[in-house]
Amino acid sequence: MLDYAALSALAAVVREGSFERAAQALHVTPSAISQRIRQLEERVGCALVVRDQPCRPTETGRRLCQHVDRVRLLEQDLRGTLPGQDLGGNARVALPIAVNADSLATWLAPVIAGFAAERPVLIEVAVDDQDHTGEWLRSGAVVAAVTGMARPASGCNSRALGAMRYLAAASPAFIARHFADGVGAASLALAPSLQFNTKDELQARWARRLCHRHVELPRHTLPSAEAFVAAALAGMGWGMHPHVLIAPQLATGKLVELVPGTPLDVPLYWQHARAASQLLEELSGAIAAAARDALLAP
């Protein structure tokens, strides 16, 4: 029989990234976390955590993290259906998910908020590039993710949500200053671009498709979808913006496409653990329904 207190400690270390933060999350001491994980490692006969900055799970540790998250969700499904059993009263279950920032800033936040307001859950949202949220699933740190990967991670189901349309846009003054002679490889190599973080390749992908070759872009880094818009309006640089997010600025002319008619459509998928959890299925249904209204048809 597995020790679920130790499994909870393992999941907390993986999710929080360190023994100290895991201890704070579980309201115990770091030495207690260390002892629980050491005993669990002795019991299963292998290392479960790579003690690094941040801590990350081994393959066996990843599988155990997935297991404990699924057990919690399944136990939550039983609350109220077994009146003779004490499953923790009205306790809420953690539901860790990973999403891309642009989805969160546009169509996804209201879905998550509405779901959490009506269900006994505590949503834990990790934000990463859509091409990297799948890594959170594979590591066991989350049970579901909005991702750019179509192929399901091990033990997960994958559902096409649709495509998010991005437009390369900047302020009229920025375009007049940097692209007076047109938008091409030479001008793009000199004009400052905006990127979300070092994983963000949307600007490079759009430039490569336009110029038919790689262009080394000068970059400002702004890890916020809203800051992207503010920076573009201020003339800081050009970037790939979700169409829905900058539609008002396009309508008023405060932002202009660099090359009209050259959108970049990024397919998105919802992947979640295959555990037969009613809560996870309900969240999946709510996200799929919202995506049908907000994204281009898959």
Which residue reads 């009263």 in tokens?
Answer: 89
Number of structural domains (the chain) is 1
CA distance 202 to 86: 50
Residue 210 falls inside a structural domain = yes
Residue 199 falls inside a structural domain = yes
Q: Count Cα neighbours of 150 within 13 Å in the Cβ-side half-sphere.
A: 6
Predicted structure pTM score? 0.79
Distances (CA, A) of 113 to 122, 190, 235: 10, 42, 33
The CATH number linked to 255 is: 3.40.190.10
Please report, as a single letter, which amino acid is at residue 141. A
Residue 70 falls inside a structural domain = no
Specify whether the CB–CB gap between 203 and 239 falls below 8 A: yes
Specify whether the CB–CB gap between 269 and 161 falls below 8 A: yes
Q: What is the per-residue pLDDT across 91-143, written as a single tens digit (0 to 9) for each?
A: 678 888 999 999 999 999 999 999 999 988 889 899 999 999 988 888 777 88
Burial 174-202 (b: 16+ CB within 10 A, else e): bbeebbeeebeeeebeebbbbbbeeebeb
Residue 191 falls inside a structural domain = yes
Residue 218 falls inside a structural domain = yes
Can you give the pLDDT at residue 90? 54
Residue 173 falls inside a structural domain = yes
Q: What is the per-residue pLDDT across 227-236, written as a single tens digit (0 to 9) for each?
A: 999 999 999 9
* DSSP state letters, 17-70: SSHHHHHHHHTS-HHHHHHHHHHHHHHHTS--EE-SSS-EE-HHHHHHHHHHHH
Strands 156-170 and 264-273: antiparallel
Distances (CA, A) of 34 to 9, 12, 126, 160, 207: 8, 12, 24, 40, 48
Can you give the pLDDT at residue 273? 83
CA distance 129 to 21: 24
Please report, as a single letter, which amino acid is at residue 290. A
DSSP 257: E
Q: Is 220 exposed, middle or buried (0-12, 13-18, 19+ CB in 10 A)?
A: middle
Element (H, E) at 10: helix 4-16
pLDDT-derived band at 1 (thresholds 50, 70, 90) equals low
CA distance 250 to 75: 48
Residue 215: which domain range?
164-266
Range from 153-157, 160-164, 189-193, 236-240 carrying the lowest mean pLDDT: 153-157
Residue 141 falls inside a structural domain = no
CA distance 140 to 12: 11
Specify whether the CB–CB gap between 155 and 66 falls below 8 A: yes
Q: What is the per-residue pLDDT across 227-284, written as a single tens digit (0 to 9) for each?
A: 999 999 999 999 999 999 999 999 999 999 999 999 999 999 999 988 658 888 999 9
Q: What rounded mean pLDDT belongs to the chain?
A: 91
Residue 20 falls inside a structural domain = no
